C-alpha cells in the first residue's frame, strides 16, 4: 500500500487511502491468492517435535469454505460472534477466514486465559459458537452453564465434553461457499482491551481494520514485502499484535507465516526457529528481545538472517535498540498503537526515521498529535496525551454495548489513547507514561480491574488494589496490595495461594508476582483507591 517513496516527508504528504467499496478480509487474505495460485505457500506449521507442514492457500480456501458451511448450517449468520480459542496453527486462519466470509464477527481469545476470563468474554459478546482444542474444551467444562448463548463448540482434537469434532464436520461439509457481501465498515472482529477501568471492553472493528494496518506494517518492516520475506512472531494470534501486526498483513501480501505453538518464550528455541525456517521478518515485543539479548549471541551458532524486526507494546529502550544492531546487523524499528487504533506511529530506518528512545513518527495515512485536556495540540516539548484523529480506517467502530465508554474515548475528533507523551522539534513522538492504570508487563497490557475482581472473590480477601511495579526485564510486574478479612493470617502460604487463585482463573501473565498485605487501603473521600501512594510504596 505504501508507494515506493524513500523520503518520509514526501511519502507522508503524497499517501492516500485506497480501500474498495466492497471489501472482505477473508477474500483478501485467502481467496484471492488461492485463485491466483492455490499451491502458493501460506503457513509453515512447526510442530513441537520439529516437524513442519507446508500449508498452501488452496487448502486454506477449501477448509474455510467447508467451515463456513458448517457454521451456517448451525445458524451462524451475519453479525454473530464466533470465538476462536486456539494456539498458533493453520486452523486459526481457517476459522478467521470462514467467519469473515460469513459476515460474522471473529472473537480471538487467548488460551492462556482461565475459565473466568473466558466466561466473561463469551458472556459479554454473546458468542454463538467457539472453535477450540482439548485444552479449551476443558476450560469450558466448568462455565458452560454461564454462557447460554453458546450453541456450538467445535474441537480440533475431536469429540469431547459436549464439543463436536471439528475435523469430521469440516470434512463432511460442501467445499463450495459464496461469501456474503461486506463493506469496509461492516463488523469483522472484536478484540477485548485490557480493562483499564472495570472489566475489559470489546473493541469492535470493521473489515477496514486490515487495510488500515498495512502502512503501519510496511513502514517498520522497511517497505514490506520484499522478495524472500517470511514472517514470524512469538505474539499470540489472539492478540491485536499477533493477528494484525503479523498474521493477516503477511497473508494479504502472500508472504508465508511461520506458526509455532509456544507455551513460553525460549530464546534458544526462537533463534533455532528463525534460522531453521528462514524467517526474514519478525514482530518481537521488547521483553522477548531483552530475553534474546540475555542469551548467548546467535552469531556462529545459528544462521539467523533477518531483514527486519519490528517491536512494540512497551518501550524498547536505547540499550536494546543498540544491541539489535550488533546482534542482527539491523535497526529494530519501534512502533506504537493500541487495540482501538493500532500501528499509527512507527520508526523506519530505511527512511531515516529512527531515534533511540523515541517511538517514531506518524505512519502515512494517520493524523496524530499530543493534545491537552481541551483537545488542543500542545507545542513541541510539552507534555500531553497522545491522540489519533478520526476518521481513520484502523480505528475501532465502538466498544461493544458501551456507548458511553465509546463517547468518552474522544475529545472532539481526537481519539485519546490514555498515554502521556511529547513531540520533539523534529516530529518524533516520545512515550512518557500512562494517565490510566494499565500495567505493561512482558509486552502485555494488563488492566488492574479484572485482577482485583478476581482477588476479592477469594474468601480471605476484603480489598485488593493492583499496580505495576517497575522491573528491568518485564518493564513492570503485577503487584497486589491486599487487605484481609478479620481472622486471616498474612503469610507466605496465603500469598502463594492468592497468586495461584489468579493464575488459574485469569491468565498466567496476569497473576501478581508480588503480594503485599496491608491493614488499610489508601482511599479518597469518594472511595477511590489512591494508586499513586501504592506505586510510591512499591
**461-471/475-484 β-pairing:** antiparallel
Residue 342 pLDDT exceeds 90: yes
Name the grid cell of 343.
Answer: 500501528
pLDDT (0 to 100) of residue 434: 67
Q: Which residues contact 262 (CB under 8 A, 6 or more apart)?
A: 87, 88, 234, 269
The string of pLDDT tens digits covering residues 280-293 is 999 998 878 888 88
* Rounded Cα gap, residues 468 and 287, in angstroms: 15
Residue 437 pLDDT exceeds 80: no
Instruction: Based on the fold, state whether residues 316 and 452 are members of the same structural domain.
Output: no
Instruction: Based on the fold, state whether residues 116 and 45 are members of the same structural domain.
Output: yes
The DSSP letter of residue 109 is -
The string of pLDDT tens digits covering residues 503-513 is 999 988 899 99
- Which residue, 417, 466, 464, is CA-closest to 441? 466
- Backbone dihedral angles phi then psi of residue 106, each to the nearest 5 degrees: -75, 135
* Rounded Cα gap, residues 41 and 194, in angstroms: 34
pLDDT (0 to 100) of residue 291: 85
Q: Which residues contact 49 (CB under 8 A, 6 or more apart)?
A: none
Host H or E run for residue 204: strand 202-206
pLDDT (0 to 100) of residue 446: 84
Q: Output the average pLDDT for the chain.
A: 93
Tell me how many domains the chain contains: 3
5 within a domain of the structure (yes/no): yes
pLDDT (0 to 100) of residue 286: 85
* Rounded Cα gap, residues 60 and 64, in angstroms: 6
DSSP secondary structure string, 282-302? EE--HHHHHHHHHSPP-TTT-
The string of pLDDT tens digits covering residues 198-257 is 688 999 999 999 999 999 999 999 999 999 999 999 999 999 999 999 999 999 999 999
Residue 524 pLDDT exceeds 60: no
Q: Which of 320, 337, 366 is the last residue of a domain?
A: 366
Say what angle helices 448-455 and 492-505 make with each other, to 10 degrees.
120
Instruction: Based on the fold, state whether residues 48 and 185 are members of the same structural domain.
Output: yes
The string of pLDDT tens digits covering residues 463-499 is 889 999 999 999 999 999 999 999 999 999 999 999 9
- Give the residue with greater pLDDT, 288 vs 86: 86
Domain CATH for 132: 3.40.50.12780
Q: Which of 315, 350, 366 is the last residue of a domain?
A: 366
**129-132/152-155 β-pairing:** parallel
Domain CATH for 443: 3.30.300.30
* Rounded Cα gap, residues 186 and 104, in angstroms: 9
pLDDT (0 to 100) of residue 5: 96
pLDDT (0 to 100) of residue 527: 52
94 within a domain of the structure (yes/no): yes
The dihedral sign for the CA sequence 414, 419, 424, 429: negative
Instruction: Based on the fold, state whether residues 113 and 150 are members of the same structural domain.
Output: yes
DSSP secondary structure string, 94-106? HHHHHHHHTT-EE
Instruction: Based on the fold, state whether residues 146 and 252 are members of the same structural domain.
Output: no
The string of pLDDT tens digits covering residues 368-400 is 999 999 999 999 999 899 999 999 999 999 999
416 within a domain of the structure (yes/no): no
Instruction: Based on the fold, state whether residues 324 and 468 are members of the same structural domain.
Output: no
Domain encompassing residue 471:
439-537
246 within a domain of the structure (yes/no): yes
Rounded to 5°, the CA angle 61-108-257 comes to 50
Instruction: Based on the fold, state whether residues 141 and 190 are members of the same structural domain.
Output: yes
Instruction: Based on the fold, state whether residues 247 and 173 are members of the same structural domain.
Output: no
- Give the residue with greater pLDDT, 173 vs 195: 173
397 within a domain of the structure (yes/no): no
pLDDT (0 to 100) of residue 405: 95
Residue 525 pLDDT exceeds 50: no
Q: What is the pTM of this model?
A: 0.88
List, in sequence order, the alpha helices (H) in 148-255: 166-172, 209-218, 240-242, 248-252
Name the grid cell of 262.
Answer: 509456544
Instruction: Based on the fold, state whether residues 40 and 149 are members of the same structural domain.
Output: yes
Q: Is 4 helix (H, G, I), strand (E, B) or coil?
A: coil
- Which residue, 271, 74, 41, is CA-closest to 153? 74
* Rounded Cα gap, residues 471 and 477, in angstroms: 6
Locus of grid cell 514470524: 232
390 within a domain of the structure (yes/no): no
Say what angle helices 115-125 and 448-455 make with each other, to 10 degrees.
120
Name the grid cell of 422.
Answer: 511529547
Instruction: Based on the fold, state whether residues 322 and 456 are members of the same structural domain.
Output: no
472 within a domain of the structure (yes/no): yes
Instruction: Based on the fold, state whether residues 174 and 119 are members of the same structural domain.
Output: yes
Neighbour count for residue 516 (Cβ, 10 Å): 16
Name the percent of the chain lying above pLDDT 70.
97
Instruction: Based on the fold, state whether residues 14 and 46 are members of the same structural domain.
Output: no
Name the percent of the chain lying above pLDDT 90.
80
pLDDT (0 to 100) of residue 450: 82
Distance from the Cα of residue 227 to its chain's centroid? 27
Rounded to 5°, the CA angle 68-72-78 comes to 90
Name the grid cell of 189.
Answer: 472482529
Interior/surface letters 459-485, b for 16+ CB within 10 angstroms, e for the rest: ebbebbbbbbbebeebbbbbbbbbbbe
Name the grid cell of 162.
Answer: 459436549
272 within a domain of the structure (yes/no): yes
Say what angle helices 90-101 and 57-73 make with each other, to 10 degrees.
60
Residue 526 pLDDT exceeds 50: no
Host H or E run for residue 338: strand 333-338
CA distances from 334 to 44, 163, 165, 367, 476 (A): 26, 42, 42, 18, 19
Q: Which of 315, 332, 366 is the last residue of a domain?
A: 366
Residue 357 pLDDT exceeds 90: no
* Rounded Cα gap, residues 20 and 211, in angstroms: 10
The DSSP letter of residue 353 is B
Grade residue 529 by pLDDT with cuts at 50, 70 and 90.
confident
Q: Is 479 helix (H, G, I), strand (E, B) or coil?
A: strand
Amino acid at each position: 500500500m505504501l508507494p515506493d517513496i524513500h523520503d518520509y516527508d514526501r511519502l507522508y504528504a503524497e499517501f492516500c487511502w485506497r480501500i474498495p467499496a466492497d471489501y472482505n478480509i477473508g477474500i483478501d487474505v485467502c481467496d484471492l491468492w488461492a485463485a491466483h495460485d492455490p499451491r502458493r505457500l501460506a503457513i509453515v506449521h512447526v510442530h513441537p517435535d520439529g516437524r513442519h507442514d507446508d500449508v498452501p492457500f488452496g487448502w486454506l480456501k477449501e477448509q474455510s469454505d467447508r467451515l463456513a458451511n458448517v457454521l451456517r448450517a448451525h445458524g451462524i449468520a451475519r453479525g454473530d460472534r464466533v470465538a476462536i480459542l486456539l494456539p498458533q496453527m493453520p486452523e486459526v486462519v481457517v476459522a478467521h477466514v470462514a467467519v469473515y466470509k460469513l459476515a460474522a464477527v471473529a472473537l480471538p481469545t487467548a488460551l492462556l486465559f482461565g475459565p473466568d476470563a473466558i466466561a466473561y468474554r463469551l458472556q459479554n459478546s454473546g458468542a454463538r459458537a467457539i472453535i477450540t482444542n482439548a485444552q479449551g474444551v476443558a476450560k469450558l467444562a466448568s462455565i458452560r452453564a454461564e454462557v447460554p448463548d453458546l450453541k456450538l463448540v467445535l474441537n480440533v482434537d475431536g469429540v469431547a465434553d459436549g464439543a463436536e469434532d471439528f475435523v469430521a464436520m469440516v470434512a463432511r461439509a460442501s467445499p463450495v461457499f459464496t461469501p456474503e457481501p461486506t463493506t469496509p465498515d461492516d463488523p469483522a472482529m472484536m478484540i477485548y482491551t485490557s480493562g483499564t477501568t472495570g472489566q475489559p471492553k470489546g473493541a469492535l472493528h470493521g473489515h477496514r481494520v486490515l487495510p488500515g494496518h498495512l502502512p503501519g506494517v510496511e513502514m517498520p518492516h522497511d517497505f514490506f514485502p520484499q522478495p524472500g520475506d517470511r514472517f514470524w512472531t512469538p505474539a499470540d494470534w489472539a492478540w491485536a499484535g499477533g493477528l494484525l501486526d503479523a498474521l493477516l498483513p503477511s497473508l494479504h501480501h502472500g508472504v508465508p507465516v511461520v506458526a509455532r505453538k509456544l507455551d513460553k518464550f525460549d530464546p534458544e528455541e526462537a533463534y533455532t526457529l528463525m534460522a531453521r525456517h528462514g524467517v526474514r521478518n519478525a514482530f518481537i515485543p521488547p521483553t522477548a528481545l531483552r530475553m534474546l539479548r540475555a542469551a548467548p549471541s546467535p552469531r556462529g551458532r545459528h544462521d539467523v538472517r533477518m531483514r527486519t524486526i519490528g517491536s512494540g507494546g512497551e518501550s524498547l529502550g536505547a540499550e536494546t535498540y543498540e544491541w539489535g544492531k550488533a546482534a542482527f546487523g539491523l535497526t529494530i524499528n519501534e512502533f506504537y498503537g493500541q487495540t482501538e487504533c493500532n500501528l499509527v506511529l512507527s520508526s523506519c530506518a530505511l527512511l531515516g526515521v529512527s531515534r533511540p528512545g523515541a517511538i517514531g513518527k506518524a505512519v502515512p495515512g494517520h493524523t496524530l498529535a499530543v493534545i491537552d485536556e481541551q483537545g488542543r495540540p500542545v507545542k513541541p516539548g510539552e507534555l500531553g496525551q497522545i491522540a489519533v484523529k478520526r476518521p481513520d480506517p484502523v480505528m475501532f467502530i465502538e466498544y461493544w454495548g458501551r456507548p458511553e465508554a465509546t463517547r468518552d474515548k474522544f475529545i472532539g475528533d481526537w481519539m485519546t489513547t490514555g498515554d502521556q507523551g511529547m513531540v520533539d522539534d523534529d516530529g518524533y513522538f516520545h512515550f512518557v507514561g500512562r494517565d490510566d492504570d494499565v500495567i505493561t508487563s512482558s509486552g502485555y497490557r494488563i488492566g488492574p480491574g479484572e485482577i482485583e475482581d478476581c482477588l476479592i472473590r477469594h474468601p480471605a480477601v476484603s480489598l485488593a488494589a493492583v499496580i505495576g511495579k517497575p522491573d528491568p526485564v518485564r518493564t513492570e510486574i503485577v503487584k497486589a496490595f491486599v487487605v484481609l478479612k478479620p481472622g486471616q493470617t498474612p503469610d507466605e502460604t496465603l500469598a502463594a495461594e492468592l497468586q495461584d487463585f489468579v493464575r488459574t482463573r485469569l491468565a498466567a501473565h496476569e497473576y501478581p508476582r508480588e503480594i503485599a498485605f496491608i491493614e488499610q487501603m489508601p482511599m479518597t473521600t469518594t472511595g477511590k483507591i489512591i494508586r499513586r501512594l501504592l506505586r510510591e510504596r512499591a
